[in-house]
Amino acid sequence: MVPITTLHYLVVAAALFVLGVIGVLTRRNVVVVLMSIELILNAVNLNLVAFSRVWGLHGQIFSIFVITDAAAEAAVGLGILIAFFRNKETVNVDEVDLLKW
């Protein structure tokens, strides 16, 4: 059986990161875009924790702060989305079209 090395974690993290970026760039629903951003931040966490295996605890501490930040961003994001929804009745990104050029 192949031992699981740090590299394996990094490949998974890179895959998550790319999926998150693609999600942000292609999805229409704001909630799904927010979820894709969470995916990117989770890739960061996975990276940090995997590197912690090599370098010690610093990375895990960093990942705790990244998790907190993700929660704060999600909360503010949903709050703004609610305010937006109340005025406009849609959660689709391509209907966010008042400001252009």
Partner 1 sequence: MPQNYVPIFIFIAIIGVLIPVTLLAAKLVRPDNPHKEKLMPYECGIDPVDSARGRYTVRFYIVAILFVVFDVETIFLFPWAVKFKAFGLFGLFEMLIFLGILIVGYIWIWKKGALEWV
Partner 2 sequence: MAQYFTGTDYLLSLPVVLLTLFALGILLIDLMLPKQLKWVNAVTAFAGVLFATAGVWRIQAVYAKGAGGYLGRFAFMQSMLVDRFAIYFFYLFLAGTALAILISVRYLEIENEHHGEFYALMLLSVVGMMCMAAGYDIVLIFIGLELMAISTYVLVGFLRRDRRSNEAALKYLLLGAFSSGIFAYGLSLFYGLTGSTNLRAIGNALQHQMMVRNGHADPVAVLALITTATGLLFKIAAVPFHQWAPDAYEGAPTSITGFMSVAVKAAAWAMLLRILVFGLYPLRSVYLPLIIFVSIATMTGANLAALTQNNLKRLLAYSSIAHVGYMLLGLVALASVDYTQPAFYDGFKGILLYLMVYTFMNLGAFAVITSLRNREVIGDEIDDIAGLYFRAPTEAIMMLIFLLSLAGIPPLAGFYGKYFIFLSLIESKHYVLASLAVLYAVFGLYYYMRIANSMLMREPLEKELLPLSWGMRAALGVTAVATVFIGIFPNWFIEAVNWSLGLTQATPIAGLMK
In the complex, the residues that contact partner 1 under the rule CB under 8 A are 61, 64, 67-68, 71-72, 74-75, 78-79, 81-82, 85-86
Residue closer to partner 2, measured from CB, 1 or 34: 34
Phi, psi of 92 (to 5 degrees): -95, 135
Sorted by sequence, the CB contacts under 8 Å of residue 60 that are 6+ apart come out as: 48, 49, 52
**Residue carrying the six token digits 């699981």:** 4
Is 2 an interacting residue with respect to partner 2 (CB under 8 A)? no
User: Out of 11, 48, 67, 94, which residue is the one contacting partner 2 (CB under 8 A)?
Assistant: 48
